[in-house]
Structure 1
């Protein structure tokens, strides 16, 4: 028997695909196993009154105590009909996000959000990660894994496979492996993130304490061998894509072996696990290909980690993908799907749509794609009629010069033509912008920003959205493997780098300043669209799509544009400090906006204003109460904080009001 586990921490709305595909493969070969989505279970545990009250009591924190009463109502809204009321949904989501941020008062090294996780920058350094895994410092996963083992013990087999798909899962996933190994379990780790870091797993170091077997690229064959191997001294004859550390010996296979698409298993999802997601209806991921048919972008790691081999991409038979959707509709009561291919080309989207239509399969779906000439008006109409509601596309930049440097294979003319075709057909789009690519000028980044703002201003589709983030020098990307050709000098230790490297420009040439860009962008966003709203939650786009077509349209329609936050900017281009001194540079609650969130003053002031009982009295009396506790609190600062809470929807969901 084998237990498959998806570790924290990714997203409370999402069901991830890796363990579901392995479950389907094991079922095909009649291998007994269980599955556990520890990511969804983690958030389900975290967003309970009992958990929040424990942290509130331990820290004597008034805001945590206040929020502890709001968590269960917020979860109920996001899982029920209240989700479809925009005000209720946003308030509920903001309550949960504020609670995650407020936990920094208990765990100051941790930056936890609804859609991402960081722990003092350790995900960038093998040494820092190693130190953190061995550290006795309290962290939230110690608490959760104690709960997890108590509740999962009956389902937890002697052998466990942990699927680590992205960097946010790296620390909690390896920590889970170590936690289980220390308690007598035999542990395999795998997934896209492990594949990217395979050189670190091949060498015997402190990571070795976290696993018995590490699996690279596709793990279907190795995971069956791991499940059926009879002894701790694993019989590895015939294994592929793995490394085993046994005593002083390291045993590894040649890796990169890929399964033919005809051998891919249909994913098998557990309804008891998916119902924990924060959404009122099921939204499930499906896969129709691995790799990217373009495969030339200089910043991209897909060709390195997909295992697709020299052909760049392997495609499943689309009729089989449609049959998979039909089964998931029936077995999992799901009519909303995300095609999680790294790139779903227009030609395959058209074929996919034709198969869906011919079999009269009625679903909503969204997918990741590239700009390309084949997104014609006719093709876009075919795709939209078959249920495509949104495409998520890497815009990066509108500068033809920078697009050429990136080797994107498109021009601004193609981008504009595609966006026009999407708009005419009714397909929404999310645009990902990139700022700080080597050689890009600030003026070019702002030009892209203005392009996106004008596109959103003219949009009548409530689901259109966009976001900007800073360029990250991934170690396994073409530019990461050959930084000198892009005028970069690596300033970090390449042997210590995990996901990305720190760097500086070789000759001091002009590059886009991310801090300056973010300042300009935020000013433009506020002036054009008012207060910023949370971006992402793409599963929610599908669930809201039909309602945005009718009377809910005007209520929902608000352009969504944001730039990523600055949490890791202080370590992006500079040396990372030791784990013991690498504190998150924004202490406190990280709420309201960047100016107020940088001060612990916000934390202290809120403790004076909020407690676990309903607060009565005028705004003036609230201010007097807070000022009595904190004499330095000014009326202006008090008003700023309270306005910030109101903007973020932190109004008592249970209708407690301040009169």
Structure 2
């Protein structure tokens, strides 16, 4: 079978996402032809090109002609008048300058000039300016870089609005992305199966836009969707069913073996798919979620296969490859977290020898030095063993991963070995600096252990990024102050941080037992694809009060946490390049602060 795998927008184009290479690694050895398309990185590469910017110019010219007709007929209202003024700014010399600048910006991000922070910051500014120009061509959409901020007017947490967005030729930029990047692939390759991997909610609009257009162009193509978002929204997607008219199946939970079984069944001409594991399929009675479920044996999974992805297009000067050694979270108790919904079994890991050899294999095959271990939370035992194994096997890499603070990692030698093995940047789940609140979260984190982990990691040159939030149900104002105070008291060893306010995840333990945590959740039935809920609390900080605490922290925190780049992959590369976590050149300069920055604490 010929299988086309698609990773849709929007996601950061700093490294490949692992889902497509993981699927490819089991499909190709089984004899299937696989075409991998990271449409996300292809889209940004396209958007930052003269070809696409000229396309936007044509849309702007059309809109200006339309506004002139409206002006002649009845006059322009305030919004229309302001839009025309913004459109008219972009004359031919201005557009030529933008094309020249964005071409240079892409070059900077992909070469050694990246490590000059003035040039990196300039390039990032040009990308923001370019996206503002593109947004004018799709007004009132706000298409942004980084993509987390993109708003297409339509709400991705409502299936009714996603359906409405699919045929909107003014706002839905993904219709044009399809025409530029996918239509010819479908025509020339004629895939038997298309698989689309969805990892965040905003990808739903692009995913179903692509699916609808593929069905219009090639009606007999079998389309399946998968990813953690599909798993978490499985019941909601089936309940109304409107979006399922554009896809044939959905793969739930872990996808490698389940998707391979689906492709094999389709190759054999099977029409009854109800026996396949981890699958939603159509039957004569409607949509069905099959009973059989399957969890992967990690030892039997091959290393990811990145062949065919445009590895030269990612917006970094050095290729960063993702690698996953575990499934699930070894702790798995945090009451605010719902990541466990993506698995039918608990925590599992590959053996240390297999991990080491697969990293060596990937490094030799793709010639890269940098790895992102994308595990949900790297287990302390594996952290120690992998560090030692990389050194013993003389594997020269730089790596970053996600960690819990642990009392089992209080030995200074552990951190020295980790740094020697190439550990450069750690993303820590801090959450709170108050013991009672940490206990409510079931973090079981000792504050003294946090201090020690931070101090030891920092001592050996590792960049510590901590993540936390305000407003966990029942948290009192003075307890939120403890979180801020802890950060400032340990600021010497905290290099960056990302704070937010508590989000009530739809499938989190807190949402499952709201009365236990003293809250009331409000579920809007029209928001059928919502992944979180509005709520009120019996005591402690309300949502608004938590926002006020957050805003105050943004205004008053230590200036060292205001950085000239907030992309974690970029900081990771900087730490490795300069061999230190003391990167003062990344700090916002005093002269920049009033005009450009308003304390961008949150990191991407």
TM-score range, shorter chain: 0.7 to 0.9
Q: What CA distance in whole angstroms lies between the structure 2 residues aligned with 1:263 and 1:330?
A: 21
Q: What CA distance in whole angstroms lies between the structure 1 residues aligned with 2:551 and 2:535?
A: 22
Q: Contact 2:8–2:207 at 8 Å: present in 1 too?
A: yes
The residue aligned with 2:65 is: none
What are the superposed Cα offsets for residues 364-401 of structure 1, whole Å, 9 maximum, x if unpaired? 00111111112221211121111111110111110111
The residue aligned with 1:276 is: 313
2:179 is the counterpart of 1:146: yes
Other structure's SS at 1:533 match: coil
2:579 is the counterpart of 1:544: no
Q: What CA distance in whole angstroms lies between the structure 2 residues aligned with 1:494 and 1:405?
A: 29
Q: What CA distance in whole angstroms lies between the structure 1 residues aligned with 2:147 and 2:478?
A: 30
Structure 1: runs of 5 or more not aligned: 561-591, 594-639, 649-659
What are the superposed Cα offsets for residues 501-541 of structure 1, whole Å, 9 maximum, x if unpaired? 3323254654362442243123214x734965342x22223
The residue aligned with 1:427 is: 462
Shift in alpha-carbon separation, 1:275–1:314, aligned structure 2, 3 A? same
Matches within 5 A, 1:218-367: 218-228=254-264, 229-230=266-267, 234-236=271-273, 238-246=275-283, 248-270=285-307, 272-307=309-344, 309=345, 312-367=346-401
2:205 is the counterpart of 1:171: yes
The residue aligned with 1:597 is: none
Aligned residues: 559
Other structure's SS at 1:162 match: strand
Say which is worse superposed, 127-136 or 432-441, in terms of deviation. 127-136
Shift in alpha-carbon separation, 1:72–1:503, aligned structure 2, 3 A? same
What are the superposed Cα offsets for residues 238-266 of structure 1, whole Å, 9 maximum, x if unpaired? 41100112565334312542011122121
The residue aligned with 2:534 is: 503
The residue aligned with 1:191 is: 227
Deviation at 1:355, TM superposition (A): 1.5
Say which is worse superposed, 501-510 or 235-244, in terms of deviation. 501-510
Shift in alpha-carbon separation, 1:346–1:530, aligned structure 2, 3 A? closer
Q: Contact 1:8–1:42 at 8 Å: present in 2 too?
A: yes
The residue aligned with 1:609 is: none
The residue aligned with 1:415 is: 450
Q: Contact 1:208–1:245 at 8 Å: present in 2 too?
A: no
The residue aligned with 1:632 is: none
Q: What CA distance in whole angstroms lies between the structure 1 residues aligned with 2:118 and 2:17?
A: 28
Q: Contact 1:217–1:241 at 8 Å: present in 2 too?
A: yes
Other structure's SS at 2:500 match: strand
Matches within 5 A, 1:372-411: 372-376=406-410, 377-411=412-446
Matches within 5 A, 1:634-649: 643-644=595-596
Q: What CA distance in whole angstroms lies between the structure 2 residues aligned with 1:156 and 1:471?
A: 46
Other structure's SS at 1:273 match: coil
The residue aligned with 1:558 is: 587
Q: What CA distance in whole angstroms lies between the structure 2 residues aligned with 1:320 and 1:499?
A: 39
Q: Contact 2:157–2:201 at 8 Å: present in 1 too?
A: no
The residue aligned with 1:41 is: 42
The residue aligned with 1:62 is: 89
Say which is worse superposed, 409-418 or 185-194, in terms of deviation. 409-418
Q: Contact 1:346–1:379 at 8 Å: present in 2 too?
A: no
RMSD: 2.9
The structure whose RCO (Cα within 8 Å, separation 6+) is larger is 1
Other structure's SS at 1:70 match: helix
Q: What CA distance in whole angstroms lies between the structure 1 residues aligned with 2:526 and 2:417?
A: 49
Q: Contact 2:274–2:290 at 8 Å: present in 1 too?
A: no
Other structure's SS at 1:10 match: coil
Q: Which runs of 4+ in 1 moved over 6 A?
A: none
Say which is worse superposed, 34-43 or 122-131, in terms of deviation. 122-131
Q: What CA distance in whole angstroms lies between the structure 1 residues aligned with 2:295 and 2:126?
A: 44
Shift in alpha-carbon separation, 1:210–1:469, aligned structure 2, 3 A? farther
Shift in alpha-carbon separation, 1:381–1:261, aligned structure 2, 3 A? same
Shift in alpha-carbon separation, 1:554–1:373, aligned structure 2, 3 A? closer
**Aligned counterpart for 1:209 among listed residues 229, 245, 256:** 245
Shift in alpha-carbon separation, 1:247–1:109, aligned structure 2, 3 A? farther
Deviation at 1:17, TM superposition (A): 0.2
Q: Contact 2:13–2:40 at 8 Å: present in 1 too?
A: yes
